[in-house]
Amino acid sequence: MDGIHDMGGMDGFGPIPIETDEPVFHGEWEGRVYAMNTAIGAWGKWNIDAGRYGIEQMNPALYLASNYYERWLYRTSNMMVEHGLITQDELDGKEKPSGRDSQPLTAAQIFERQSKNRSARVDEEIAPKFKTGDTVLVRNIHPKGHTRVPRYARGRHGTIYRDHGVFIFPDTNALFQGKKPQHIYSVRFTAQELWDPDAPSPDSIYLDLWDDYLVSA
């Protein structure tokens, strides 16, 4: 979906701070949010694309005011309510959590399930729509749901550099409308094509894009 989270190519946000000896977590609570997200995700009530879509639905002002793990906490809390793991009153502290009928998972079970669900690659024989060297045009789409095609690349021409193989299509997977497996390509764009004629002519940007995002040019 189009929103404040799609910040690629946007100006006005200042430099990116680089922390010397940056810790893994800036506070104990961040580690707890990471652990909760991992443990709850192991139940398999939603997938990674649905999780990303959950963050994208944040109010823009709240999104900009939140740090990385605050966005994770927002997403995980809301999706727990949406998928029946907890009620809104329980989340708000108005009722004592009932536990529902979900059985607790051990740490070993969590790690086992997570290790099995790390890849979105699909082992299916699906013919690619494009081949290395083909010139393609990125479709100028504006979906209401989740998508992995950035706004700055839409309507721009690129060249197929590499075919990565067949993967789950995030746009449908995020909405639980099926995996719709298809090829992902590394597509090369010149900096001048994406930005403007004043961009450095030797520079290129490579984006991983699915079949459904592209048409022949």
Taking a C-beta distance cutoff of 8 angstroms, is the pair 25, 34 a contact?
Answer: yes
Residue 208: per-residue pLDDT: 98
Per DSSP, the three-state class of 167 is: strand
pLDDT at 154 (0 to 100): 97
Specify the CATH architecture of the domain 135-216: Roll (2.30)
pLDDT in tens, 148-176: 999 999 999 999 999 999 999 999 999 99
Q: What is the mean pLDDT of the chain?
A: 92
- pLDDT value at residue 100: 65
Query: With 70 as the cut, is the pLDDT of residue 105 above it?
Result: yes
Which pair of tokens denotes residue 48? 């990674």
Q: Which of 190, 38, 17, 34 is nearest to 112 (CA)?
A: 38
> Is the model's pLDDT at 209 over the cut of 90?
yes
The number of angstroms, rounded, from the C-alpha of 5 to the middle of its chain's C-alpha atoms is: 10
Angle value at C-alpha 119, between 116 and 124, nearest 5 degrees: 105
What H or E segment, with its residue span, contains residue 209? strand 204-210
pLDDT of 192 reads 95
Beta bridge partner(s), residue 138: 214
Domain 28-116 has CATH 1.10.238.10: no
Residues of the chain with CATH 1.10.472.20: 28-116
CA 77 and chain centroid, separation? 18
pLDDT band, very low/low/confident/very high, at 215 (cuts 50, 70, 90):
very high
Query: Which ranges of 104-205 would DSSP assign to H, the alpha helix?
Result: 107-116, 170-173, 191-194
Instruction: Cite the residue boundaries of each domain of the chain with CATH code 2.30.30.50.
Output: 135-216
Instruction: Quote the pTM value.
Output: 0.89
